[in-house]
Chains A and B, each alone.
Chain A
């Protein structure tokens, strides 16, 4: 089924923010917004649900600290007991201070790397992927709002978008 969308371009993030709010008020459906830089508060204005990336990051951190503890306990205490700093206690808990930096590093390492990979997967990004960007100017100084136009009067929608301060409006047939 062919669907029609409208691309409205803006040159200012504040104008864009107001346009997004006005469009949502009119109950038009915003498919996507493309911006050259992250616009503060845009996700809220578009009504996007809050990201769950922070929760995954916390869980990855927990995995990281568990890996660090298990690994060091096996390597330094069980498999080949080591005399750490002249304290041959061969106990994990008594040598804990010397393990804390590694625990910290692996927590950060796991949280950061796995979170980035999650973000790529969730955003459907991978190496050599074709850009989905509809207009190259959105990587420079333009902001683009994509609105579903299948179920609305085109002229009415175009009039409305012109009033919100769009500098250019295009109707695109998606297939």
Chain B
């Protein structure tokens, strides 16, 4: 049995408190009026300078606003008229909300990715992985609190308490034919109904799969294992549809005019590789603390192979989406990438380095996949890279060019990291670390590559 050390508990609680305080400060810091924005911008210009040119050049992202900005350029000041300040005000007011959203979704998607990975192990009747089942079950425990938090945030956004979803703003919809056409799908009630179905299904699978796995520990035959197999197979079918719709609802709808048919797969690849990486990190951590003595180098090697392989898979999907849109160059499609390349250049290309180039070069070597500290280093970069990926998916439509990684972003990550660590490691204490009666447990213990 694993016992949660006081140090780790304290560490996670400190993270939660620091993160919560920082996030509240982030909300309080957000400007309330146009005058606040003017002050911020003036302070910014005093040392930065030359911001006026950038805003004018940025006008392609929001054509209507761009025109006013350039038209009034000479008369008012470097920033155009009040309309422009109001625009920035909305972006800055969105910023802490968006930071909260990105971090909440990022940690939620880790546990969802692990849940899918766990189900695949059962459906494939894999023999190498049962020694890792308890680690996976513990990580999926975050699905419940993480899912509830996502649901609350989605409710606040879908009913326009905050301004994250532009389609939730009745005034915008009134002037937008495209969103009007989609409003049967994109409205607050429907969003929450669907979210409830997705979350309900995933959490239900998680509940029963873990229950069956615990009962199998005490069983004399494989009846519970066979049940696990059946619900896992059924869950995977349910999951791939709901995950796809979840990615439209929760991520793609930030840009309601834009769509991509492989977006669900793209988000899936990101959450899958983040989940597998987290399994590897937590496994290595537990081993370093003297637990999981039955996990050997070959298990770590296999996880690292998955980290490598799914990173390549993620890149493949990223590129498939990017190249077609870049090549065809249709205005309503390509604006998605133009915004990101011009306003989010560093995160857009930086995440490619972190999610593709770095894992490719580090983990291509077979021996490196067995060196724990290299796997940890690679894993941390992959996780940061996928946070930046979610960031780059959400931010351009919510805070636009007013983004920066500041107090609210860092605090939101700390808050959810603390919660994640607390929930996952508390869940680890609830059951023995070895699923001892799994029919493949002996094979898994002797797994050798």
Contact = CB atoms under 8 A, between A and B. Distances in A.
A87 B366 contact: no
B319 A86 contact: no
Contact of B327 (A41, A54, A58, A98): A98
A102 to B, nearest CB: 12
A97 B327 contact: yes
Nearest to B322: A97
Main secondary structure of the interface of A (DSSP, over half): helix
A54 B366 contact: yes
Interface in B25-46: none
A85 B322 contact: no
Given A97-B326, A100-B319, A100-B323, 16 more contacts: A41-B448, A54-B366, A58-B364, A85-B326, A85-B327, A85-B328, A85-B329, A86-B329, A87-B329, A97-B319, A97-B322, A97-B323, A97-B327, A98-B323, A98-B327, A101-B323
Contacts, number: 19
Contacts of A87: 329
B326 to A, nearest CB: 5
Interface in A67-102: 85-87, 97-98, 100-101
Interface in B296-327: 319, 322-323, 326-327
Interface residues of A, number: 10
A58 B360 CA distance: 12
13 contacts: A58-B364, A85-B326, A85-B328, A85-B329, A86-B329, A97-B319, A97-B322, A97-B323, A97-B327, A98-B323, A100-B319, A100-B323, A101-B323
A100 B364 CA distance: 20
Contacts of B327: 85, 97-98
A103 B327 CA distance: 17
A41 B298 CA distance: 13
A8 B448 CA distance: 27
Nearest to B327: A85
A100 B323 CA distance: 9
Nearest to A61: B364
B122 to A, nearest CB: 24
Interface string B368-385: 000000000000000000
A54 B364 CA distance: 10
Nearest to A98: B327
A109 B266 CA distance: 26
Contacts of B448: 41
Contacts of B364: 58
Nearest to A87: B329
Interface in B231-285: none
B286 to A, nearest CB: 27
A40 to B, nearest CB: 8
A87 B319 CA distance: 19
A101 B316 CA distance: 10
